[in-house]
Amino acid sequence: MTLFIRLVSVAATYASFYSLYFTFRPISQIDGIWETSLLCLTILLCCITIFVDARAYLIQRPKAYKKPSDVNAYMRSWLSARGRALVFSRDLSWAENDHATKQLMITKSKQRELIVVAEHKAPFTDKLRSSGAKVIYYEGIGYVPKSRFTITDFGKSDARVAIGGKINGVHIIEEHATSSVVFNLAQDLAQSLIQWEQQFVSQSTAP
C-alpha cells in the first residue's frame, strides 16, 4: 500500500502539471516540434521517476522471515561481502547455532574484517577474538540496548546497516544507507560503546 501511495503521488504531481499547462495551452493549439518534444520529455521523466521510486522501495522495503534458517541465510549474504563488518548483538547465539554462519564469521575474523559488540563474554565471542576479530563487551555500562544490527563496509562512505527485530513472531529486517538517520543512530551507538570500552581498558590498566 505504501508503494502504491508513493507512485500515485508522483503520477498526481505530473497530472497537475499537465492540467495547468493545458489550461493555458489547449491541445489544439500545440504546434511545433519543440513544444511536442518538451511534452514527450516530461512524460518520459514521469515514467523514469516512477521506475526509480518503485525500484528504491523494493530494494529498501523491510524483509520478513518466519524461520531462523532464513534469517541466518540473509545474514550470511549480508556478511559475505568483502570489507569490515560490525555486528551488534547480545551474545551471538543466533550465529553460534548455525554452522555455516559460524564458519563465515570465523573466516572474517581471520581476515581482520569483523568487529563484534556484545553484552558479555561467550565461548563463541572468545573464539572470534582468538581468530582475529575485535570484540567489545558493554555489560559494564549497566544497561542492555535492545538494538540488534549489522553494519557492512563499516567506516566507509558506502556502508549500510541491517536492523532486525521481531513483530508478532515474524523477524523483520530493514536496510539503511549512510544517508539515513537510522544508520547514523546505529553507528553512533556502536562507536560510543567502542570508545567507552577503550577508555575503560585504558583506565583499568593505568598504573
Q: Is a pLDDT exceeding 50 seen at residue 30?
A: yes
Q: Could you tell me if 31 and 118 lie in one domain?
A: no
The CATH number of the domain holding residue 123 is 3.30.870.10
- Where a domain ends, among 18, 40, 60? 60
**Residues 73 and 161 occupy one common structural domain:** yes
Helix or strand or coil: residue 121? coil
Q: Which of 152, 111, 150 is nearest to 134 (CA)?
A: 111
Nearest to 161 by CA among 85, 104, 90: 85
User: Domain ends where: 42, 60, 78?
Assistant: 60
Domain that holds residue 184: 63-205
pTM: 0.69
What pLDDT sits at residue 201? 58
The band of 91, judged by pLDDT with boundaries at 50, 70 and 90, is confident
Structure confidence by residue, pLDDT tens digits, 137-170: 888 777 788 888 999 999 888 899 999 888 888 8
Looking at the structure, do residues 188 and 97 belong to the same domain, yes or no? yes
Residue whose C-alpha cell is 575503560: 200
Whether 91 and 163 have beta carbons less than 8 Å apart is answered as no
Give the C-alpha separation, 203 to 207, whole Å. 9
Among 52-66, 105-119, 174-188, whose mean pLDDT is lowest?
A: 52-66
